């Protein structure tokens, strides 16, 4: 980069970062976290509301918005409030969903309530629940479930620890379901259940759905130049039947940052390179939306530099950055992020950011994941009041300054 280009990049980065309006970004986050958004789970009315709201937000900046849909084979949801009741030598008690027991993503169907004595896994037999403190992964779990089924076991109880919020993390994806119902129980309660009788009904449904990616773009002064692509996923893990999941940090925060960055860039002087925006769907189901988009970009012969923001709700003293692909190294991205971090005095460090950035990296595009954090993700406590406005500001300013440095290369 020439001295002239460096000076232009530095000035643009400073101006763009200064224009980032934290209250505007926070307002978008708030809109996405209301109960009527249903945790923004695919297939819900709230998910459709989020699509409309985000489209209107980008349109209000003067951008032309388009959508692209894609099929999602399976979305898990609870048909109604699950029930789990335990009778031991102590008085019977009804366990509390999400803090004491939860659905398991590999559970087989449970259309009706099941009642049986709880036995240790090695001893469980006809009409009993098998208590499984240590859960094997992958095919080994399926094989074990087959063995239980052959012995007449009616279901499996697995241990799941509560996270720092006191809740059992909501899990919305998993490997192929096993042939038996599976219920996750807090480890201390699982141990106490052995020898007692347990009644459970956890009506976990699996249904197809349609995902929707939302796009907009700004032309550069060099329209044929390789674009810079800014991405963030907007979907959440969805609500429980009687418990709201705002999904604020993960990832209404990233969507709010991207929408505000789009507003700032749409009002600024055009940058040399085009800037594209993508609000991505189905990240929580295995980064399906970004996989679909990356494939389309490759088919169209485009190879953008990608900056993805996931979880910008909490600042822990430094900002995580994951770069990919490893070979060849995304040198322009590294230089742009480094320049932006130094200019804004924001400490960056190399750390995993397991999000949509990996799909673009797998497609061979230079990609960086930017992550600050969230207070309690995949928990009902991932709420608006736990969003740190300063974290939103840091994420937004870093994103805009990085775009400025990158777009001048």
Domains annotated for the chain, with CATH where assigned, are 3-76+207-407 (3.40.630.10), 81-202 (3.50.30.30)
Q: What is the mean pLDDT of residues 83-109?
A: 93
Q: What is the mean pLDDT of residues 171-181?
A: 95
75: pLDDT strictly greater than 80: yes
101: pLDDT strictly greater than 80: yes
Q: Count of CB atoms within 10 A of residue 1's CB?
A: 14
pLDDT of residue 372: 97
Contact call for residues 88 and 193 (beta carbons, < 8 A): yes
96: pLDDT strictly greater than 90: yes
Q: How confident is the model at residue 327 (pLDDT cuts 50, 70, 90)?
A: confident
The larger pLDDT score, comparing residue 19 to residue 92, is at 19
For the CA atoms of 237, 238, 240, 246, the dihedral, rounded to the nearest 10 degrees, stands at 90
89: pLDDT strictly greater than 80: no
Q: How confident is the model at residue 146 (pLDDT cuts 50, 70, 90)?
A: very high
The larger pLDDT score, comparing residue 243 to residue 327, is at 243
Q: Which of 405, 393, 395 is nearest to 305 (CA)?
A: 405
- What are the start-end ranges of the E strands in 271-387? 275-280, 305-309, 319-324, 348-350, 367-371
Q: What is the mean pLDDT of residues 155-171?
A: 95
Contact call for residues 103 and 204 (beta carbons, < 8 A): yes
Q: Which of 229, 358, 214, 206 is nearest to 286 (CA)?
A: 358
165: pLDDT strictly greater than 90: no
pLDDT of residue 331: 94
329: pLDDT strictly greater than 90: no
The larger pLDDT score, comparing residue 348 to residue 90, is at 348
Q: What is the mean pLDDT of residues 210-228?
A: 97
Q: How confident is the model at residue 4 (pLDDT cuts 50, 70, 90)?
A: confident
- Calculate what percentage of the chain has a pLDDT beyond 90: 94
pLDDT of residue 2: 84
- For the chain, helix (H) and strand (E) counts, in that order, are 10, 16
- H or E segment at 206? strand 204-218
Q: What is the mean pLDDT of residues 7-24?
A: 97
Q: What is the mean pLDDT of residues 59-85?
A: 97
User: Dihedral sign, CA of 360, 364, 366, 371?
Assistant: positive
State if pTM tops 0.95: yes
- Tokens 């999400």 belong to which residue? 98
Q: How far apart are CA 10 and CA 15, in angstroms?
A: 9
Q: How far apart are CA 225 and CA 260, in angstroms?
A: 24
Phi then psi for residue 213, to 5 deg, are: -90, 145
Q: Which of 353, 397, 300, 321 is nearest to 13 (CA)?
A: 397
pLDDT of residue 191: 94
91: pLDDT strictly greater than 90: no
151: DSSP letter: T
Mean per-residue pLDDT over the chain, rounded: 96
Rg of the chain (C-alpha set): 23
pLDDT of residue 293: 98
Q: How far apart are CA 186 and CA 134, in angstroms?
A: 12
User: Dihedral sign, CA of 342, 344, 346, 348?
Assistant: negative
| Beta-ladder partners of 320 | 349, 371
- What are the start-end ranges of the E strands in 44-113? 66-78, 83-87, 93-94, 101-103
Q: Which of 211, 233, 235 is nearest to 46 (CA)?
A: 235
The larger pLDDT score, comparing residue 89 to residue 166, is at 166
pLDDT of residue 88: 79
Contact call for residues 305 and 366 (beta carbons, < 8 A): yes
pLDDT of residue 5: 82
- Going by their DSSP bridges, the two strands 129-132 and 66-78 should be labelled as unpaired
Q: How far apart are CA 358 and CA 320, in angstroms?
A: 14
Burial class of residue 327, CB neighbours in 10 A (0-12, 13-18, 19+): exposed
- H or E segment at 122? none
């Amino acid at each position: 980069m020439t001295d002239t280009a460096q000076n232009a990049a530095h000035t643009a980065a400073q101006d763009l970062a200064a224009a980032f309006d934290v209250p505007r970004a926070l307002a978008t986050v708030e809109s996405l976290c209301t109960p009527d958004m249903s945790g923004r789970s695919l297939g819900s009315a709230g998910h459709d509301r989020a699509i409309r709201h985000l489209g209107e937000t980008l349109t209000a900046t003067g951008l032309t918005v388009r959508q692209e849909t894609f099929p999602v084979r399976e979305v898990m949801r609870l048909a109604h409030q699950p029930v789990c009741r335990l009778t031991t030598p102590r008085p019977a008690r009804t366990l509390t969903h999400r803090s004491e027991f939860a659905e398991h993503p590999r559970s087989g169907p449970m259309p009706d309530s099941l009642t049986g004595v709880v036995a240790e896994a090695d001893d469980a037999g006809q009409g009993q629940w098998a208590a499984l403190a240590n859960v094997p992964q992958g095919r080994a779990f399926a094989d074990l479930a087959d063995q239980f089924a052959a012995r007449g076991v009616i279901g499996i109880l697995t241990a799941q620890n509560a996270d720092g919020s006191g809740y059992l993390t909501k899990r919305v994806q998993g490997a192929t379901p096993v042939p038996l119902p599976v219920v996750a129980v807090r480890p201390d309660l699982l141990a106490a259940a052995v020898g007692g009788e347990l009644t459970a009904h956890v009506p976990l449904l699996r249904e197809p759905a349609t995902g929707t990616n939302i796009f907009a773009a700004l032309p550069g002064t060099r329209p044929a130049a390789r674009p810079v692509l800014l991405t963030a996923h907007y979907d959440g893990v969805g609500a429980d039947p009687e418990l709201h999941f705002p999904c604020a940090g993960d990832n209404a925060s990233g969507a709010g940052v991207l929408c505000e960055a789009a507003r700032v860039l749409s009002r600024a002087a055009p940058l040399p390179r085009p800037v594209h925006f993508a609000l991505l769907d189905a990240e929580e189901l295995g980064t399906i939306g970004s996989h679909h988009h990356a494939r389309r970009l490759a088919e169209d012969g485009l190879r953008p530099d990608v900056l993805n923001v996931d979880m910008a709700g909490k600042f822990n003293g430094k900002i995580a950055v994951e770069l990919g692909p490893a070979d060849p190294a995304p040198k322009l991205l590294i230089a742009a992020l480094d320049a932006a971090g130094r200019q804004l005095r924001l400490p960056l460090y190399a750390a995993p950011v397991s999000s949509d950035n990996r799909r673009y990296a797998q497609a061979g595009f230079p990609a960086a994941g930017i992550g600050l954090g969230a207070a309690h993700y995949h928990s009902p406590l991932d709420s608006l009041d736990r969003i740190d406005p300063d974290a939103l500001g840091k994420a937004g300013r870093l994103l805009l300054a990085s775009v400025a440095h990158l777009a001048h290369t």
